[in-house]
């Protein structure tokens, strides 16, 4: 991967990290416990609890992606960045720009 491409990917990773951190802060506010003394109906309370569970799963996924992005940012100068961890071929540049945390090429990721 050329120096210009690494700069583009580094910039993309930095912007994704910033967005992920903001999203995580917002999501954490939506995953607060639902107080039993809220004056909402039983069905509405069950719906709120279900929505909270969905938001907790989304929050866990967002935190995992953030850690992968931070790892990619640390590894971008490594000679192994952009190399598939399974087959050893280059990861397509478009894939790295779209998913900079990718460690596998399209073929290996599809398996």
Q: How far is CA 14 from CA 40, 65, 74, in A?
A: 42, 13, 11
Whether residue 62 is contained in a domain is answered as yes
pTM for the whole thing?
A: 0.79
Residue 7 covered by a domain: yes
Q: Residue 13 pLDDT > 90, yes or no?
A: yes
Instruction: Examine residue 45 and state whether it is found in any structural domain, yes or no.
Output: yes
- The answer to whether position 16 is within a domain reads yes
Instruction: Count structural domains, the chain.
Output: 1
Q: Tell me the residue range of the domain where 57 lies.
A: 3-81
Confidence of residue 78 (pLDDT cuts 50, 70, 90): confident
Give mean pLDDT, residues 90-99.
Answer: 89
The answer to whether residue 110 sits within a structural domain is no
Helix (H, G, I), strand (E, B) or coil at 56: helix
Within a domain: 99: no
Domain-embedded: residue 111: no
């Amino acid at each position: 991967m050329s120096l210009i491409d690494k700069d583009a990917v580094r910039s993309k990773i930095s912007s994704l990290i910033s967005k992920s951190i903001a999203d995580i802060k917002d999501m954490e506010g939506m995953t607060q416990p639902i107080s039993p003394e809220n004056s909402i109906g039983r069905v509405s309370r069950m719906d709120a609890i279900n929505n909270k569970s969905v938001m907790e799963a989304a929050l866990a996924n967002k935190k995992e992606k953030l850690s992968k992005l931070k790892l990619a940012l640390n590894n971008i100068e490594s000679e192994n960045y952009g190399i598939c961890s399974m087959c050893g071929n280059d990861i397509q540049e478009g894939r790295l720009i779209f998913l900079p945390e990718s460690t596998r090429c399209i073929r290996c990721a599809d398996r």
